[in-house]
Amino acid sequence: MNVIADDRLIPVAESPVYQWNGVALTKANRMFAAFPRALGDVTLSVAEILSNNTLKPIPGGDWNTFNPTNSSNDAGNRFVNINAVLTDSNDNLWVVDSGMYGNNTFVNGSKLVKINLQNNTVERIYSTSALNAPSGFALNDVRIGSNYAYLTESGLGSVVIINLANGEVRRVLYDHPSTKFADPTVVRMERRVVLDQTGQPKRMPNNNLELSPDEKILYYKPSFSYNWFQISTNDLVNQSLTETQLGENVSVSWNTMPTGGTTMDDKGFIYLMDLERRAIWQQDMTNNGSWKLIVQDERIIWGDASDVSADGYLYVPMSQNNRIPSFNNGKNQVDKPFKIYKIKINSASSIITVNIILFLISFFNNFFPY
């Protein structure tokens, strides 16, 4: 499928060295990025992107200097391997640290960190060490509610819930099929199958998630899954429910496509970064899951965790995950610099409206796999 550049997609930032996989903005458009360690042991982990494209480590000091290959000291107070950043309604910055590098999970490394952006200091650390989670456990993404934080765990597949008042942490749906890889989903990008380092189709458990504006429903999905799953947050925080009972309350919400990152605006529209078609879609979860194509562009190469700015732009980082060794049969084919683009999303005239039903998704998957 031929894809051309669209001039509505505007470049806003570049990272000449470090890969990024997420962006977060404050109401005043301060912009922050998450930097994982997929391409090496040295990274900024979290940084503010200044107006001159300078990357300023946040919060600074020891937090941004951890080196997993030569030191395992104090992983509870340093960034080990960042999977997500998110700003809340009070302009706090939340950082998800998987705590894992390679096959090594560092003691106290798995955590959710709250940074007060008034003074750029860490306000609280929510450790998940009390879970005593099995090997392979890896936090991935987060959404913040009034009383709870909800996180996806993509190493083994589960949902993690943190009580923001007392720090209590729980892991749920760890045996439920909704949090696992939906086999056999084979994803193709840039005319080749996305493969792990052993040459097998890449498998990715629970990853994307969104919290409805009223905080009543949590949506989640494995990145390569074709379904959004949903569950009531009242059920998630009800500790009297067994795992079996909780699983019985999970339902399929809407059909979708393999996605890199997602985000939801304050109206409840979800924006999905379509991996295979180099596209960005808007999904209306309140209107039968109807779809709008925002943009399709050759520069969208694994659009990852995005954010919506106060002035109505969608900011999308291009992580190029399909070009890194762990997604590309052991080969590194990234094209630096890594880039972030933005596109206006609050103008109806700039959006192509398309109502897509299930059979049409299947048609695209069969005939336009690239």
- The model's pLDDT over 25-41, given as tens digits with 9 standing for 90+, comes to 999 999 999 999 999 88
Cα Rg of the chain, angstroms: 19
Structure token pair of residue 283 = 């999904």
Asked whether 128 and 169 are in contact (CB, 8 A), the reply is yes
What band does 285 get if pLDDT is binned at 50, 70 and 90?
A: confident
Query: How confident is the model over 161-200, as pLDDT tens digits?
Result: 999 999 999 999 999 999 998 766 799 999 999 999 999 9
pLDDT tens string 97-134 = 999 998 888 989 999 999 999 999 999 999 999 999 99
Residue 302 is predicted with a pLDDT of: 97
Secondary structure tally for the chain: helices H, strands E: 3, 29
Q: Hey, what CATH topology would domain 10-367 get?
A: Neuraminidase (2.120.10)
Given this model, what pLDDT does residue 255 score? 85
Which run of H or of E encompasses 188?
Answer: strand 188-189
Query: In the prediction, which pLDDT does 254 show?
Result: 84
In this prediction, residue 62 carries a pLDDT of: 93
What confidence tens digit (pLDDT) does each residue in 48-102 have? Answer: 999 999 999 999 999 999 988 887 688 999 999 999 999 999 999 999 999 999 8
Residue 71: predicted pLDDT? 72
Record the pTM: 0.91
| Portion of the chain with pLDDT greater than 70, in percent | 91
pLDDT of residue 41: 87
| Contact between residue 91 and residue 42 where contact means Cβ atoms under 8 Å apart | no
Predicted confidence at residue 352, as pLDDT, reads 39
Here the tokens at position 107 are 């003691």
Summary mean pLDDT of the chain:
90
- Lookup: tokens for 368: 């336009």
Check residue 329 and give left, alpha or beta (phi > 0: left; psi -120 to 50: alpha): left
- For 196, half-sphere exposure in the C-beta direction (CA atoms, 13 angstrom radius) is 6
Q: Where are the domains of the chain?
A: 10-367
Contacts 24+ apart (CB under 8 A), 350-359: 350/8, 351/282, 351/292, 351/293, 351/294, 352/292, 352/293, 353/292, 353/293, 354/291, 354/292, 354/293, 355/290, 355/291, 356/290, 356/291, 358/255
Query: What integer pLDDT is reported at residue 4 of this predicted model?
Result: 60
pLDDT tens-digit readout, 233-262 = 999 999 999 999 999 999 998 888 999 999
Count other C-beta atoms under 10 Å from residue 196's C-beta: 16
Q: pLDDT value at position 287?
A: 75
